[in-house]
Structure 1
Amino acid sequence: MSAFGSLLPPPLDERRGIPLYYRKTEEEVRQDVYERYDELVARQTALHLADAVHGGYPLQPLADYLTRWLPSGPRLAVADVGCSVGRLVGDVALAHPDWDCYGLDFSYQMLRQGRDYWTAGKSVSANLLRFGYPLESFTGHELPNLHFALADAAALPFPDGSLDLLVNTFLIDRLPDPRRAFAEWWRTVKPGGRVVMVSPLNFLKKEQWEQYHPPIKILDQLLRQGWQLLDLTDPLDLEEPMDRRGNVVRWRTLALVLQR
């Protein structure tokens, strides 16, 4: 493997240090709630980075599942597609300083927060005072082996067969056509490489429920594509804290590990 970050080609554009591999239309910017509501970015920051506030990482079972299925070897290439503020891929990059790691998302505001915390070494904060949480700042890292970029999950900027591991969590039920993402997984993952997918399958449209529920419909598509199933865990239960009182949203996720 060559230098860190070398899998990314020159971007179409750049926005305050975030390379852009997709030019969002004005309508797409308007529809992106993370562009409009700072509270949602603050919530993701508090959920994924404010361990001290929660007494630990609230989604630790998710992190543990990913750790259990990480491939082994030196200088691997890893991408988290739909990375939010980069918690999962940041932990991987921190634990494996020789791995080449990438965090991709469709929301610039999430990527900027992730970049500031994980690669720029800045302090970030999450203002959730109205939910009872204290106003605190979290000092980040300066990881040279982690790069963030804005991209479409259905048109990834990576070369064919370049990734040892592709991670996606809470993603496929938010995509207009998950099949296009499945095709990109097959294109970009090396033979012998892995995909770790975790999703609550909380689809937004009636047509998606018809096409992808129950989960055997998703698994059937992936196996027909040629993937080998290494693990299926259903459900992988996760709890997302909502306030200081201890109210939570319980996510009943499907977790899959696939090998090319």
Structure 2
Amino acid sequence: MSAFGSLLPPPLDERRGIPLYYRKSEEEVRQDVYERYDELVARQTALHLADELHGGYPLQPLADYLQPWIPAGPARAVADVGCSVGRLVGDIALAHPDWDCYGIDFSYQMLRQGRDYWTAGKSVSANLLRYGYPLESFTGHQLPNLQFALADAAALPFPDHSLDLLINTFLIDRLPDARRAFTEWQRVVKPGGRVVMVSPLNFLKQKQWEHFHPPIKIVDHLLREGWQLLDLTDPLDLEEPMDKRGNVVRWRTLALVLER
């Protein structure tokens, strides 16, 4: 494999070290709740990077589900689309220093936090005093094999047939048209490559419910598009901690593993 990060072409723009492959309008920024730095970035940081607050990684069942489907071998190319602050792809990059890894998200604020923690080796903090947690900081890593970039999940910056593994979690129910994203993922994944998809299917719009509920509609669509189904787990139950008292949000997710 060539140098790390070489799958990414020159970006349209750059913001504090984050290459931008999509120019968000002011209206898109206003409507994107994940651009509200203080609240949601803090919660995602606490959920994915602050294991010591919880006595372990709260979404460990998600990481455990992913693990058997990570391909073996040297010099693999992996992307987490909708990576948030980069926990899953960061762990892969840490475990496989010769792999070329990418964290893709549509929120600059999430990407900034992920880059600071995973590649810049900075200390990041999560202000969750209102939830009973102490104000703490967490020192990150300096991983040369992990790159972060802002892009549309349905218009990725990768070349055709360039990825061995594409991960997406808690994403497809937030996309305007998940079918466009499925087609794009088929373009960028190598023959024999895999997609691991986990989603609560907590759709926000009526048309999405009509198109994708019950989940067999998603599976049928993917099979018609030529994907091979390696695993279907429904539900994969996950719990997201909300405060120090132990209140949680329970997510009943659909987990799929597909092979191109």
Matched to 1:209, the amino acid is: W
Matched to 1:41, the amino acid is: V
Q: CA RMSD in A?
A: 0.5
Residue 108 of structure 1 is matched in structure 2 by 108
Residue 234 of structure 2 is matched in structure 1 by 234
Counterparts of 1:194 and 1:63, CA distance in 2: 16
Residue 158 of structure 1 is matched in structure 2 by 158
Matched to 2:6, the amino acid is: S
**How do residues 58-207 of structure 1 correspond to structure 2 at under 5 angstroms?**
58-207=58-207
Counterparts of 1:228 and 1:130, CA distance in 2: 46
Tell me if structure 1 keeps the 8 A contact 2:37–2:109.
no
Q: Please list every run of 5 or more consecutive structure 1 residues that lacks an aligned counterpart in the other structure.
A: none
Counterparts of 1:33 and 1:225, CA distance in 2: 32
Counterparts of 1:61 and 1:35, CA distance in 2: 27
Counterparts of 2:147 and 2:80, CA distance in 1: 10
Matched to 2:108, the amino acid is: Y
Counterparts of 2:134 and 2:26, CA distance in 1: 35
Counterparts of 1:43 and 1:210, CA distance in 2: 31
**How do residues 10-25 of structure 1 correspond to structure 2 at under 5 angstroms?**
10-25=10-25
TM-score (norm 1): 0.99
Matched to 2:51, the amino acid is: D
Counterparts of 1:184 and 1:133, CA distance in 2: 40
Alpha-carbon distance, 1:68 to partner: 1.5
What do the CA deviations read for 1:183-224 (whole angstroms, capped 9, x no partner)?
A: 011000000000000000000001100100000000001000
Counterparts of 2:132 and 2:102, CA distance in 1: 34
**Runs of 4 or more above 3 Å deviation:** none
Counterparts of 2:116 and 2:247, CA distance in 1: 29
Give 3-state SS (helix, strand or coil) of 1:66's partner.
helix
Counterparts of 2:157 and 2:34, CA distance in 1: 22
Residue 211 of structure 1 is matched in structure 2 by 211
Residue 248 of structure 2 is matched in structure 1 by 248
Q: Which moved more, 1:168-177 or 1:61-70?
A: 61-70
Residue 221 of structure 1 is matched in structure 2 by 221
1:53 aligns with 2:53: yes
Counterparts of 1:151 and 1:41, CA distance in 2: 18
Counterparts of 2:137 and 2:26, CA distance in 1: 32
Alpha-carbon distance, 1:37 to partner: 4.5
Counterparts of 1:11 and 1:188, CA distance in 2: 17
Counterparts of 1:165 and 1:78, CA distance in 2: 5
Alpha-carbon distance, 1:35 to partner: 1.8
Counterparts of 2:6 and 2:187, CA distance in 1: 18
Alpha-carbon distance, 1:34 to partner: 2.2
Matched to 2:150, the amino acid is: L
Q: Please list every run of 5 or more consecutive structure 2 residues that lacks an aligned counterpart in the other structure.
A: none
Counterparts of 2:14 and 2:192, CA distance in 1: 33
Alpha-carbon distance, 1:36 to partner: 2.6
